[in-house]
Structure 1
């Protein structure tokens, strides 16, 4: 089932969850499920709230709620950069349910390569050494949808944009997943997508941010208030205003590690 199918939300909200396995590399309980209702079926990820590990710097609300809040903001931009995501009850209690998206084989948009193997047109982010002491480069594609995702990450203050959290679907869409440590009031942006630092935002991004600012004055803020605090909502407004004022991609603040570890 395609993420844009209007029946997806109905399926995610009311379908019967059948737990098929656990994604063991995840730091919080993350269950892979089949979901079915009225003959429609798909696969999804279910993250029960009771499986979340407490985080001292995210004391309010739930990580599941932050995932849903990030999805609401993605939808408000019109870019649809996060798979359909909602809160509902499941086999282990309330949790986040998100449509599973298959990825395009051998179609990475972020990679760690030798300096002479950076693909043409890619943007270098970091030079380092691998465990053998050989030089490597963290780089990513100069891709429009990836750039949109970088803008969204700034808005949601994503503290964990790993390369493995970026999906390149077979139909060409670029999607982000794992947004539980987003929407904090403090500047915690930590991402592999630093290749556009200092560059001017696209006219499209500026227009969308202006529309998002207007939506934050109405129903969008009301919807977000179900998941995050008033201070965190105000911080979103502040980040949007800052982006509109500078009209450029920011540099790392220096107060927080700029790149997640591991990067994938």
Structure 2
């Protein structure tokens, strides 16, 4: 449906920094909601000179799908009413338990991981924490692989069936280390066996003739694909979640 259906624009998502349109897509008597982000509505980024935001969003979906975790909603790159763009399945959110919180303590409570201290006004600070949740931990691994420079709290969508999706992956896959996220709670900790297994599969799929390489080639440069595999290899070699490099702001702004 996303790739071949008839795309109809219903409205604009006004708080998006680039053009993002709420649409429906219809095929063979069925219809569903989606988001359409045309390349023509993108603002150029000096530090992401290659490719497009839409292409990187499609590439993030391909990597997510290859992990088997499917943390990114189904996404395609296709023509639309305003030219080529990213089309992604609309996710209706549900109350999914608290994922982020500010607490007036020095240490996180059981079931929570510390991100860092944040100013809350008038010289006061509070500890910013995220849930010690396996879905978030998988998302942290995915972000490390795709080099996500903008993992904000508002990009995390709890959905039916206990699913958790991540959206807005336009600033990813840079050849330089630009990981910027709220999900630092496991920084430096050993990767879970599940993550090691997934990363091993990605490493094979990202070889020169691997299936994932073929799916990423329309969206990324050869250097970006090579850098993606290098990040996977480095994660496997260290066996640990990455830590902030100190060369790039570690937390996105605004964080939500």
Tell me the TM-score normalised to structure 2 length. 0.95
**How far did 1:16 drift?**
1.7
The SS at the match of 2:162 is coil
Partner of residue 237, structure 2: 245
Separation of aligned partners in 1, 2:15 and 2:123? 26
2:212 paired with 1:228: no
Unaligned 5+ runs, structure 1: 1-10
**How far did 1:135 drift?**
2.1
Separation of aligned partners in 1, 2:183 and 2:232? 18
Separation of aligned partners in 1, 2:164 and 2:52? 26
The SS at the match of 2:2 is helix
Partner of residue 173, structure 1: 163
2:153 paired with 1:163: yes
Unaligned 5+ runs, structure 2: none
1:182-197 to structure 2, matched below 5 A, reads 182-197=172-187
Separation of aligned partners in 2, 1:186 and 1:196? 22
Separation of aligned partners in 2, 1:76 and 1:198? 25
2:53 paired with 1:63: yes
CA spacing shift, 1:224–1:41, aligned 2, 3 Å: same
Partner of residue 80, structure 1: 70
1:93-242 to structure 2, matched below 5 A, reads 93-105=83-95, 107-115=97-105, 120-217=110-207, 218-242=210-234
Moved more, 131-140 or 70-79: 131-140
Separation of aligned partners in 2, 1:186 and 1:263? 22
Once superposed, which parts of structure 1, at least 4 consecutive aligned residues long, lie more than 6 Å away? none
Separation of aligned partners in 2, 1:119 and 1:28? 38
Partner of residue 3, structure 1: none
Partner of residue 92, structure 1: 82
Aligned residues of 2:179 and 2:250 also touching (Cα < 8 A): yes
Aligned residues of 2:99 and 2:130 also touching (Cα < 8 A): yes
Partner of residue 246, structure 2: 254
Pairing partner for 2:4 from 5, 10, 14: 14
